[in-house]
């Protein structure tokens, strides 16, 4: 979009920018790549909401006979998302789906999840993966990248190619800017190839909108699927942060493990402090305080040698370049302590923090490890 959009309305008013944005989306939707589906990465945050809003307005502004390109509104649930954020996401995606059906749009609303054997709790409590940090951020790939990439690959396989529509903007961060600049354009300035997903191309319709413009548009327009964006705006006010976007590769994860205050996984031990969850508590949602305390404790025990095994899961001793020993996974005793603390919190929490299927998998992993090690201890 960028310069072309701003030239479409010389006054550069926010209203003019919004009209130009919707026009830009319409132009691309009706382009020669129309046989390829759109996959909209929808996190429920401000940017992906604005992109979805623009798509709805575009579809309402064209003839039904022109609505031939399938659109997938895809969100990702890591299974450890902030419960309040997930409540908002569930509500909005339900509204979007109901409206799409009523309006006859060629739209599918989908939700991706990590594989059952790759959830946060199965890996951390079951297999003993140490709490994620900046140098070992195993969670992003398993919980975010793999599920969403898998969905895109299936669409590419079915249609030959797919267009991934993302609500990314240049002013989000310097790392995001560098990532954008590395992309190679497929045609003009609209589509760029994804370097890790063959057959997938990226379309960024709000690339050059500033954050103030995004908020003004959301605050002055009605949600086309019904109601307003007031609940989204209030969510940001309460959390004092921003959303973790849909992630397709490690360098596209600005909200995972930075100093930015973003709402995402409540278990995130990559950030030094969870400002967004603390924001909810400061707003009067005191029932989140135990989650904050658990997350802080989980971060604090990561490098305790008495809670980590000497050997890695492959049976090897590992040392860094300076000869310092790199400990292996959490011991089973440590994993059981983590599990017990989590279950205590869940008993008093209105909502599920860990599923029964995860608990079964965790106990099976423990039993297998103990049997293989010849231990007679029970879990």
* Structural domains of the chain ordered from first start: 3-121+134-235 (3.40.50.620), 262-373 (no CATH)
Instruction: Give φ, ψ of 215 to 5 degrees.
Output: -65, -35
152, pLDDT greater than 70? yes
Note the pLDDT of residue 362.
Answer: 98
pTM, two decimals, is 0.86
User: Is the separation of the CB atoms in 256 and 144 below 8 Å?
Assistant: yes
pLDDT digits (tens, 9 = 90+) for 198-237: 999 999 999 999 999 999 999 999 999 998 999 999 998 8
Mean pLDDT of 125-143: 94
> Would you say the C-alpha torsion 251, 255, 258, 264 has a positive or negative sign?
negative
Q: What proportion of the chain, given as a percentage, has pLDDT over 90? A: 69
Q: Kindly state the helix (H) or strand (E) to which residue 174 belongs, with its residue range.
A: helix 174-182
pLDDT digits (tens, 9 = 90+) for 317-333: 877 778 787 889 999 99
Cβ contacts of 201 within 8 Å, gap of 6 or more: 33, 36, 161, 162, 163, 164, 186, 191, 192, 193, 194
pLDDT digits (tens, 9 = 90+) for 8-57: 443 458 899 999 999 999 999 999 888 899 999 999 999 999 999 999 99
Note the pLDDT of residue 263.
Answer: 67
117, pLDDT greater than 70? yes
User: Is the separation of the CB atoms in 92 and 233 below 8 Å?
Assistant: no
The CA R_g of the chain, rounded to the nearest whole Å, is: 22
Note the pLDDT of residue 371.
Answer: 86
Note the pLDDT of residue 12.
Answer: 59
Q: 85-104 burial by CB neighbour count: b if 16+ within 10 A, else e?
A: bbebbeebbebbbebbeeee
pLDDT band at 78 (very low <50, low <70, confident <90, very high): very high
Mean pLDDT of the chain: 87
Quote the CA–CA distance of 233 and 217 in Å, as a whole number: 12
Give the count of beta carbons closer than 10 Å to the beta carbon of residue 378.
7
User: Is the separation of the CB atoms in 69 and 38 below 8 Å?
Assistant: yes
């Amino acid at each position: 979009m960028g310069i072309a959009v701003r030239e479409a309305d010389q006054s550069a008013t926010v209203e003019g920018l919004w009209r130009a944005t919707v026009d830009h989306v319409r132009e691309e939707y009706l382009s020669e790549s129309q046989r390829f589906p759109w996959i909209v990465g929808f996190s429920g945050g401000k940017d992906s909401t604005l992109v979805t809003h623009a798509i709805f307005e575009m579809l309402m502004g064209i003839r039904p006979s022109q609505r031939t390109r399938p659109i997938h509104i895809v969100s990702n649930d890591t299974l450890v998302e902030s419960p309040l954020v997930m409540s908002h996401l569930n509500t909005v995606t339900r509204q979007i789906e109901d409206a799409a059906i009523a309006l006859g749009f060629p739209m599918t609303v989908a939700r991706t999840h990590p594989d059952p054997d790759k959830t946060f709790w199965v890996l951390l409590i079951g297999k003993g993966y140490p709490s994620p940090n900046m140098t070992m951020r195993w969670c992003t790939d398993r919980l975010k990248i793999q599920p969403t990439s898998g969905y895109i690959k299936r669409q590419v396989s079915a249609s030959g190619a797919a267009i991934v529509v993302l609500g990314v903007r240049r002013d989000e961060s310097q790392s995001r800017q560098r990532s954008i600049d590395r992309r190679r354009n497929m045609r003009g300035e609209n589509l760029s190839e994804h370097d890790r997903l063959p057959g997938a191309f990226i379309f960024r319709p709000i690339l050059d909108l500033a954050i103030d413009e995004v908020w003004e548009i959301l605050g002055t327009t009605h949600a086309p699927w019904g109601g307003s964006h007031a609940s989204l705006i209030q969510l940001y006010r309460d959390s004092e942060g921003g959303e973790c976007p849909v992630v397709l590769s490690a360098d596209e994860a600005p909200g995972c493990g930075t100093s930015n205050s973003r709402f995402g996984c409540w278990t995130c031990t990559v950030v030094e402090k969870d400002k967004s969850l603390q924001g909810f508590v400061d707003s009067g949602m005191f029932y989140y305080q135990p989650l904050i305390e658990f997350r802080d404790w989980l971060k604090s025990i990561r490098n305790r040698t008495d809670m980590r095994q000497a050997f890695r899961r492959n049976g090897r001793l590992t040392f860094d370049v300076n000869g310092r020993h790199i400990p292996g996974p959490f011991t089973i005793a440590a994993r059981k302590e983590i599990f017990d603390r989590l279950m205590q919190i869940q008993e008093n929490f209105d909502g599920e923090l860990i599923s029964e299927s995860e608990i079964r998998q965790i106990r099976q992993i423990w039993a297998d490890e103990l049997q293989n090690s010849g231990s007679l201890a029970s879990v």
